[in-house]
Structure 1
Amino acid sequence: MQVRLNLIIMSLSIAIIVSKSIRTYNHLKFFINALVWGITVSSIVGIGQRILGEPFITLWEKTGSSERGSHILSVLSGRIAGLADYAIPLASQLSLIIPIVIAQLMFCNKKMLRIRNTIFLILLVIATLYTEVRSALIGVCFAGAYIYLNKSNINKKNLIRDIFRFSSVLLISAILYIGIGNYFNEDRFTNFTDESALSRLPMQITAINYALYHPFGTGIYNISYEYIPKGFLNNPEIISGVISNTSHNQFSNMLIYYGFIGLFLLVLLYVTIIKELNESLKKVQQNTQYKWILIGLKGSFYSSIINSLFHNGGPFIGDIVIWFVIGLSIAACKLVYFNSLNKVS
């Protein structure tokens, strides 16, 4: 419990430091580029782990805690970790960063920057595929469709057209997901009958049952048979998955660890951030200088939320990268607000 509390305090500190350090548009762009470069380097290390093995696996072991040793078999089997602890945290980071790169690629007109972002995007997507985390890829596809729709300028008068465009992009993304996923790992990406997929529903029901008995949370994952739905008790594989794993959903995880108050705070955090990004987008209108950043950050949260519906990534587990992105969002909204005041005066 103390370790988790320390992680949250450190994460909050990162968001505050990032938001306070950014005072101009150039500062904001610098911090975004630093984050993108950092995750891209981690992705390159991960791709090296998959294709070459050494020295990238040793580099991963030497740059983290001793706990990484427990994930060595996963990395050796091909599920890359990059510079994160293992595949799932790396996928969570990628789901946050890829939408920002997509937004900059779509809105930027500078040739060299477009070339760089295209290369980065290819590397980041390959790394996501090599993590073999399905939900991260689905989240990125959704965020890409959202960003494309905003690039075309959403108009209430053409709502049907915009819905058709969004649906078309999602359909194309689904086709690409199936095609590319089958190429990289058919059993993982398009097979939803494995133990991991089948245990997700009972995990969520079990988490809700647990929360009803412990409405203020318990600070630990301590699931027993009494909380598992009776209809699943005759399947030992599912029971094993439910008891030995966390709930694989950041919202139900919040219920288990922090109770209904924790869940309310998490939802409030996301609603507030997305609402502020929306308000800032209204202020910038056609100003692409800030527009790509705001849309990219908003897409980043959409992608991350979708991914976290099937994994434990999220702000309240000490995920440093998401707090960095939260700090960027606060800073971006603050800059847009003060710029709009200056224009009025």
Structure 2
Amino acid sequence: MKPFHYQRINVVEDISAGTHEAAAVQFLAGGTNLIDLMKHEVEQPDQLADITSLSLRQIEDSDDKGLKVDTLVTNTQLASDPRVRQRWPLLSAALLSGATAQLRNRATTGGNLLQRTRCYYFYDTSRPCNKRQPGEGCSAIDGQNRIHAILGASDHCIATHPSDMAVAMVALDAQVSIRSGDGRQRTLPVEQLHRLPGEHPERDTVLEPGDLILGVQLPEPPPGRQIYRKVRDRSSYAFALVSVGVILNVVDDKVDSVHIAFGGVAHKPWRARKAEAALLGQSPTEENFIRAAETELADAQGYGSNDFKIPLARRTLVATLREAARQDEEEVIA
């Protein structure tokens, strides 16, 4: 492991100019992803800033009937919070599908959003990888790409984002609060936090050096049934081949509102805006569900081993919409 400078951050204000100007500073929270990457020599920070002493571990109600989640709230704490389980069950289900209990006990909200791809070639420093070393090339395009992207990829990278939590956050229109190294704060939708690879796959997010995620703001839950469905190689503790988060609200046999986000198919959690637009005002029928899925996936591209993901994503979305619509019907009958 490359030598690095360790700094414990006791209050946010301790994030000094020297820290945020460093080219290779990393913030350490739960460490469930970063420490592994350092062991593999994929991440080689010059500075490691430990933020675990910060007072950012609360889940609080907000004035707009939402929920404020601090960055150091663990995945276990968030998934088991009674308010989340009752009002944002999509988020709880996504978190509980994501990892072992031991990892959820350590992994944090901010760190979960910033975890890096599980592409085999990204972890293998003997193989070319544009995400790890820009300009080397992408080994996955002509290699083993079964788990890789079918949407939003580029000639430079076809890796996928691994987070389940982030998919739910995108579907729920969550906002992320960010503090820059010079003390300024800003918020942006979680949907805008992550980048598509383009010509710079080494940049996973829009964050700048020294930026620290302070927390996430969940707005009031949208009306409708919330469903999270994850398809994976084994029944537990595996990353998604395809996952779908759906919030479907049907009024008078018409889709009044719908939120859809995919996981496992792109470099970022993928908000299915085309499918949403295709469903609004339509009857919640199998035919309309299929049409919406085909509309969203019209530009999907496989790279050989992952060709199966295109029909899998279509079937998964249709099945999830069908389940959400059926639950709506059962609720009305009850």
The alignment's TM-score, normalised by the length of structure 1, stands at 0.23
Higher RCO (Cα < 8 Å, 6 or more apart): 1
Structure ranking higher in helix proportion = 1
